[in-house]
Structure 1
Amino acid sequence: MKLNQTRPIGLGCMNLSHAYGEPSSPEQASKILNLALDLGYNHFDTAAFYGLGVNEQLIGNAVAHRRNEYFLASKCVLVPDENGKRSLDGRPERIRQTCEEALKRLKTDFIDLYYLHRYDKKVPLEDSVGAMADLVAAGKIGAIGLSEVSASTLRRAHAVHPVSAVQTEYSLWTRNADIAVIDACAELGAAVVAFSPLGRGYLTGALTDVTSLGPEDIRRRMPRFSEENYAKNLLLLEPLKQIANNHNVSMAEVALAWVLQRAKHIIAIPGTSSETHLKANLNAQSVSLSDSEWQLLHQAINDEKVHGPRYSQAAQSDVDTEQFA
């Protein structure tokens, strides 16, 4: 299966075992993954770093027997160091090692799309992408992707080997990709894969009290989710709520529809551990916003109006994307 044969809505699997507090049990995760396939999802996105390999293992244990039903994407370079801490390692030998380990955890001999999770600037980009190209030639992976990179980095990588996708955070409240990446991907024939298209829960309207977030939830360390900033950000949601009511759908469905209507080469990969949300997110494909509705949301919620940067200064340091002035 090729990326352009997948549905516009895929499933980001990270939150089943990483980042948002208490992870799902293996039984819960298996139920969600199999239900996703039953509903018609055919694109699963994971990474070696999610749960330090646990997320890939969940997918392998739950749905490897249905491998022909889904397009499989995973990522390398963002890996734990010897102390289990977050680190970047874009050396060719580590990329090859990470891929072999991923194939075993995923219980497959082929990953359809393999991303550099981050650009490790300690290693020449051409060396990292060259290692990925070797994996394509060896039949281990089908295509190369990049995550959280600028348009200039994309072009450098594409000169070594065609890049099939750039994964970037993109939603109503995070628009860095508008600066250059969306257009560069269109020019080069690459897809834009939008992660966190629901603003890590913000755009669903369901998260109204950030003090309810668990101590290990990564949003605790994100400036937009501070009590002061989030209270202001909630005030921006009224137009989204009104349009959702007009269409008789959820705010999440409208927010996803907005992302998909931004450009034809965008794919959204919201994550969820909820069966209800799993079904609703897929329904976003059938929500059609008028030009005036799309523009209203475009103006109501954007980087200029949102309070707080997307990441802390430390977390932003390994992100290569363009930034608004």
Structure 2
Amino acid sequence: MVEVGRIKLGSQGLEVSVQGLGCRDLSALGKPEPDMIALVRHAIESGVTFLDTSDFYGRNANEIFLGKALKGDVREKVELASKFGLLFADGKLDIRGDPAYVRAACEASLKRLDVDCLDLYYQHRVDTRVPIEVTIGELKKLVEEGKIKYVGLSEASASTIRRAHAVHPITAVQLEWSLWARDVEEEIVPTCRELGIGIVAYSPLGRGFFSSGAKVVESFSENDFRKRLPRFQPGNLEHNNSIFERVSELAKRKGCTTSQLALAWLHHQGSDVCPIPGTTKIENLNQNIGALSVKLTPQELFELESFVPGDAIKGDRTAIGTAPWQESDTPPLSSWIAS
């Protein structure tokens, strides 16, 4: 097994495993809970100690599951991250960042996870009705009260990140970043690096695309949200698969899988980047860890990036209504004070 190293995430002191584990699917319907707990503990024993969840995953079920997985002395071995802000209200997706909701959400997550403190707490999506200063102000209070250690944002614009960071240091920004999603490289990543903010890359395998290309759709269940994503629609999918095949050829020359190559590319983007691939299979987890042993030369990085320039993938990366970072600007603080 490849040794999983450690990195400093952000500049406030948080240290995490160089690769994390996205836990969203571990509590999915039909997944045997003992097997999924065994996977979490295998990850921790292997050195993957940065665990990512949210109160939105499974509508609270994922946090409850992870709380069970961390019973005993396991909690002290991990860096636990959760998120708030996405919810269903009256059957519709909503986003909230008002102070009362921030506090209530945090306290509910602590109870479900059965922990006293979260290592990292993100705003899952930015509430464009509430000035970001107001949301971060409440998170700052939670830090001062010892309920969370570090503050993060997810899918936030550069201006939102700057405004938030001015109120309380932001430790990490979680964003979709992979060979499949490179829109963040122009503005968001440089902003994080300027401010000393760590980068957590979710869906580093292109929502499973780099596992098997177009064939991945054959594994989608009837209610898999990916079936709604434009990039998996006919026409777009065939075009995108031609890119997968080029990446796959380089992977064969490197003696690794295509998914390992895609992960290795992210690991080569800097020591401030932590991908958090998710899986429900131990063999896939081991394979993801194996990506850490894939070393890319500058020429190979150039070749790989030439296959997938920023505008190469066809179709939007998100479904309608899921609020990518381009839609995350909030009103000025003065508007909230005036109201």
Bucket of the pairwise TM-score, normalised by the shorter protein: over 0.9
* Counterpart-to-counterpart distance in 2, 1:206 and 1:309: 17
Q: Is the 8 A contact 1:210 1:230 kept in 2?
A: no
Q: CA deviation at 1:211?
A: 5.0
Whole-angstrom CA distance in 1 between matches of 2:232 and 2:241: 10
Aligned partner of 2:83 in structure 1 is 75
Distance 1:313 1:60 in 2: 32
Residue from 62, 71, 80 that aligns with 1:64: 71
Equivalent positions of 1:243-282 (< 5 A) are 243-282=250-289
Q: 1:306 to 1:8 in 2, by over 3 A?
A: same
In structure 1, the gaps of 5 or more residues are: none
- Give unmatched runs, 5+ long, in structure 2: 1-5, 329-339
1:321 equivalent to 2:326? Answer yes
Structure-2 change in CA distance of 1:241 and 1:161 (3 Å): same
Q: Cα deviations across residues 20-43 of structure 1 (Å, max 9, x unaligned)? A: xx5523223212111111211110
Distance in 1 of aligned mates of 2:309 and 2:211: 16
1:30-179 correspondence runs (5 A): 30-65=37-72, 66-81=74-89, 83=90, 85-179=92-186
Residue 8 of structure 1: aligned partner:
18
Q: For residues 227 and 210 of structure 1, what CA distance do their matches in structure 2 show? A: 11
Once structures 1 and 2 are overlaid, which stretch shifts more, 120-129 or 233-242? Answer: 233-242
Q: CA RMSD in A?
A: 1.8
Corresponding residue for residue 183 of structure 1: 190
TM-superposed CA distance for 1:156, in Å, is 0.4
Instruction: Measure how far apart 1:79 and its partner are.
Output: 2.0
Task: Find the aligned partners of 1:313 and 1:50 in 2 and give their Cα distance.
Answer: 18
Structure 2 residue matching 1:314: 3-state secondary structure:
coil
Task: Tell me the number of residue pairs that the alignment of Structure 1 and Structure 2 aligns.
Answer: 317
Post-superposition shift, 1:297?
Answer: 1.2
Q: CA, structure 1 residues 206+278, in 2 after alignment: closer, same or farther (shift >3 Å)?
A: farther
Matched-pair contact (CA < 8 Å) for 2:213–2:244:
no
Q: Which residue of 2 aligns with 1:215?
A: 222
| Aligned residue identity for 2:19 | I
TM-score of the two chains, using structure 2 as the length reference: 0.89
Structure 2 counterpart of 1:285:
292
Partner of 1:240: 247
Distance apart, 1:101 and its partner CA? 0.7
305-314 or 188-197: bigger deviation = 305-314
**TM-score where L is the length of structure 1:** 0.93
- Between the aligned residues of both structures, percent identity stands at 38
Q: Helix, strand or coil for the counterpart of 1:227?
A: coil
Selected match of 2:306 from 299, 310, 315: 299
